[in-house]
Homo-oligomer: A and B are copies of this chain.
Amino acid sequence: MGSTLHDVARIAGVSIKTVSNVVNNYPHVRPSTREKVLSAIEELDYRPNLSARGLRSGRTGVIGLAIPELRQNYFAELADSIIRAADAHGVGVVIDQTSATREGELAVLSGERLRLTDGVLFSPERLGQDDVNLLNVGFPLVLLGERIFGGPTDHVTMRNVESARAATEHLIGIGRRRIAVIGAHPVNQDDIRSANLRVRGYREALDAAGLPYDTTLVRTAAPWHRENGAVAMRRLLEDGVDFDALFTLNDTLGLGALRALGEAGVRVPDDVAVIGFDNIDESRFSVPSMSSVDPGRDEIARVAVDTLLSRIHEKGEPAPPRQILADYRIVGRESTGFSEPIEAEPPRPSPPWRNPLAVERVTRGPGARRAAPRNRASARRADALRSAHVTTLADGRHKRG
């Protein structure tokens, strides 16, 4: 079935190494030779055997993405973005679902489940700060999310505190004063995790506006699924707490809460204004459409893939671990009194289909110490990310701050 370099070499009447040189775009091949080889490749429909290439080169051209569950919208959209970003480099993605269990996450770090991959993007949900030393694994690893900070690996994440503060300020800005929160962590509220960081941002906004921090307004919910958003909202209503706005720590909780508000006959945004977090596609289409924080998922995906690949190709002394933060923006929709028309399907650029034979290769400068081009590019992008954030309001204005 599959033909090999040998077959091509025989047909083209050259040595197997010459064929390899042609396939790998080695520059010093006589045009006439290249031509012969290419037509033999064509004739035999030759495809390089990636197992052999992987064995020889130590690289497979596949990275792993370890996430809790694809059926959570946030992760499906993240995976989508990451697969696109990886595809732009000709790299494949194996998805590993940890089912949000500690066991599953440990299995990721142990490398058992690392199948044929050159490195892993890992978004833990159960592991926490105490497990930071487990991150010293023998393969390139880039961390996503908020569970662990200051570890030995690169880390790409979002500005949780600042963006949660901005979300709260968005609610304060439309005149709300009693702002409930759903999604706080039930147990350890000092732990570093999205929930606590976002609550901190919420609190900072209250403080800055001179509003009191009322613990009866801050509700726990875990995991962040619709069900639990609905349950928390029902409790909030049952308890008779007075509130005029709601900040849910992610969108799915918000959609559940919206549902419970609807059942209870509470009007949104008239009685209660609602903002979520994540800006998943779905939030645009709830009734009413839900305002949200867009944490910059595409940028996170792009930067995470770039960072991982540069680690995979890194030579010599490893650079110190980097932490990279993406931009965020506030998206105002009906649930906070902004209206946004539903337009037809926004076009999504399809990836350019690439030369299927070539290997992605990092040019090695003579110094070899210096970071490869892609490294510098992503470092530059990272700097750009660090430098500014932009808040976009629904009316399209941009506010640099």
Say whether chain A's binding surface is mostly helix, strand, loop, or mixed. mixed
Q: How far is the CB of A335 from chain B (nearest CB, A)?
A: 12
Interface: A111 (CB within 8 A): yes
Q: How many copies does the complex hold?
A: 2
Q: Is the CB of B116 within 8 A of A227?
A: no
Q: Which of B62, B110, B353 contacts A115 (CB 8 A)?
A: B62
B285 touches A262 (CB 8 A): no
Shortest 7 CB-CB contacts between residues of A and residues of B:
A51-B54, A76-B76, A112-B356, A92-B115, A70-B80, A99-B350, A51-B55
Contact of A182 with B by CB under 8 A:
no
Task: Please provide the chain A residues from 136 to 164 with a CB less than 8 Å away from any CB of chain B in the complex.
Answer: 138
Question: In whole angstroms, how far apart are the Cα atoms of A84 and B93 in the complex?
Answer: 16
B104 touches A116 (CB 8 A): no
How many angstroms from the CA of A62 to the CA of B228 in the assembled complex? 35
A242 proximal to B (CB < 8 A)? no
Q: Is A314 at the interface (CB under 8 A from chain B)?
A: no
Q: Is A282 an interface residue (CB 8 A)?
A: yes
Distance in Å: Cβ of A83 to nearest Cβ of chain B = 6
Chain A interface residue bracket vs B: 35 or more
A95 interface hit (Cβ, 8 Å): yes
Chain B residues with Cβ under 8 A from A107's Cβ? 353
Q: Mark A222-253, 1 if CB is under 8 A from B, else 0.
A: 01011110110000000000000000000000
Collect the chain B residues with CB atoms within 8 Å of residue A27's CB: none
**In the complex, what's the smallest C-beta–C-beta distance from A287 to chain B, in angstroms?**
4
Could you tell me the distance between the alpha carbons of A49 and B99 in the complex, rounded to whole angstroms?
A: 26
Which residues of the other chain, B, contact A351 by a CB distance below 8 angstroms?
99, 104
A54 CB contacts on chain B under 8 angstroms: 51, 54-55, 116
Q: Which of A199-207, A212-220, A339-347 contacts B (4 or more CB under 8 A)?
A: A339-347
A90-114 at interface with B (beta carbon < 8 Å)? 92-97, 99, 101, 103-104, 107, 110-113
